[in-house]
Structure 1
Amino acid sequence: MDRPELPLPQLHAFVVLAEELHFGHAATRLGIAQPPLSQQIRRLEDRVGHRLLCREPGRVTLTPAGRELLPAARLALAGLADGLAAARAVGSGTAGTLRIGFAASLALTVLPGLLRAFRERSPGVTLDIREMTTTPQLAALQDGAVDIGLLREPPPEDEAAGLGFTTVLTEPFVAVLPAGHPLADRRTVPVAALADHPFVLLPRAVGPRLHDQIIGLCTAAGFAPEIAQHAVEWQTVCALVETGLGVSLAPASIRRIRMKGVAFRRVDPDTVRTRVAVAWRADDRNPLVTGLLAAVRPAADATRAAASAARGVQLPEADAVAERVP
């Protein structure tokens, strides 16, 4: 059996009258005349099928049916008020849930500053953070599974219909070597010097453009790398390099992983830059997305400033090369 629709204006009138127990006072509080108030109460009583108030000269009291209805009426009105407040908060971008996909390596650079800047602007918003590589992020954005992506090397516009991108950071590549490798003694490693070494790389499927950049660096140096092992995350790549399974080329921020058995060295040439971008659905009108995009620029500026400061720090020679990479 269908429940009758709640007559909210009538419930409001009833609650105020039940609190005042005086038609004149209740009408004044509601900002209406007494006849419309009486009509609201009669309509509600018709819905209930029973009298809710006893009207006697100079006195108004609640009937048993009225006393039973009053707590439920108050609860319904409070629920409506809470719902309206929540809807206004979400609509204004001060509440709700924002789903963010991010590439794991960006937890070392852009992600902390970006989330900090956003939370300062919108402390009441819940963040649902999901670690995923570039290709799954793009699919999740297009399917509506996430609202924001933070990824490396976004595809060209004709391959990412309906998505918008803004660059937040560019960074060079570094050579990733076992700490005891002969090349680790050098300040700068020519890419060509890696030609005779097996490589540990991310599979192309998880980040096609980044993978192609690395292969392009090798091709420009005159060789095609022998890929001995694939790993989905950069931390795993570094761990496999540490064991001696191979070497790698990686974005410079990977040096923050800080494995004792791994050395990160600037490469020559170092003209190629990998791009980090925020992605979103171009037609998304979610105010939370707008709020995060507004936080992107100051967060990116802070990240670049931190990188610039790190380049000027005087460190022991073993660490200085890695830390001076932008």
Structure 2
Amino acid sequence: MGGIDILKKIAKSVLYFIETAHTRVKWELNAWWLFLTTMILKKCAYGPFTGEFGHLLGHNLPFISYLHSKGVKIHFCGLEIHTPFFIDENGDPTVDKYISIRDFYAERAPSCNSADVPNDVKALTREFITKSKQALSPYWNNENHEYYFYFFRWWVLRNRFIKVYDLSKTYKTNEENSVVIFPRKWNANFPSQTLVQLKNNGEAWDYFEVSKCASKFFDKVYVIGHPVFCEVNFSSFDNVEVLLIADNSLILEKCCNSKLIISQHSGSVYLGEYTNTPVLIIYKGSRSIGNIEITQQFKQGLGTRHEFKYAFNFEEIENHLKQI
């Protein structure tokens, strides 16, 4: 490689650094301007949120709850099935107005903070965006993936603009000797990223065997979750109840009433901080969980009611359950 080629590469790298730094400064200034005007005016619009469960619990909901805790009236657009999460510890709504989007997950899989939504949903979200941009209130629009994924969620964490309401104060109805199992399956939106999902989520578990193992230690085992995101090929048996539903009120109730949540490395692991329930992360294939350190950072931001526990095979699952 000649000297001119090396200089071209250096110049290209310097230019990239300048452009990246300029973008991040612009993002930082924009976020702080939105935040300050939101705090002054005590109102804002936020959304639409059409993304993954973990991005709701890990990044969007805690920021919205923080704004609510500061007296901000929020005009929000998101999925109707997520409304049970938008309450405080008194059971009061955390948003002033909730524009509901139907559950389209059986048609289109979410990716990160958004989804390629069906046309009828797109018409609704476009209307929300247009009206929010035309209004005089601050508007938190996280449609830009680069802005949201690489800046906004870290900005929220860095500045501790986070509030997690203890939803067990509303949804806990009983003290059960029970466990909740989320039988997660891979996101169909990433068929070309099999290795990435394998690294992050681990190999597939036999959830019949996981449930049978748990049934020896609990009076009730709930195999639960949204049917689109669950992999279950068995029905209820003995003290194991299979509840593949999109009713998050019931899912929250079962989590709040139970002594443990079992899940692969997915967005469901954040639930424990909301329901005041310990979480056991099960991972199959190795003892190195992809991106777990990032999940840990965001989980610490949500709170430390319970630290994650881990199991990498059936023997470790059983040993953990024996101690509860």
TM-score (norm 1): 0.31
Tell which structure's C-alpha radius of gyration is larger: 1
Considering fraction of residues, name the structure with more strand: 1
TM-score (norm 2): 0.31
Which one scores higher on RCO, CA 8 angstroms, separation ≥ 6? 1
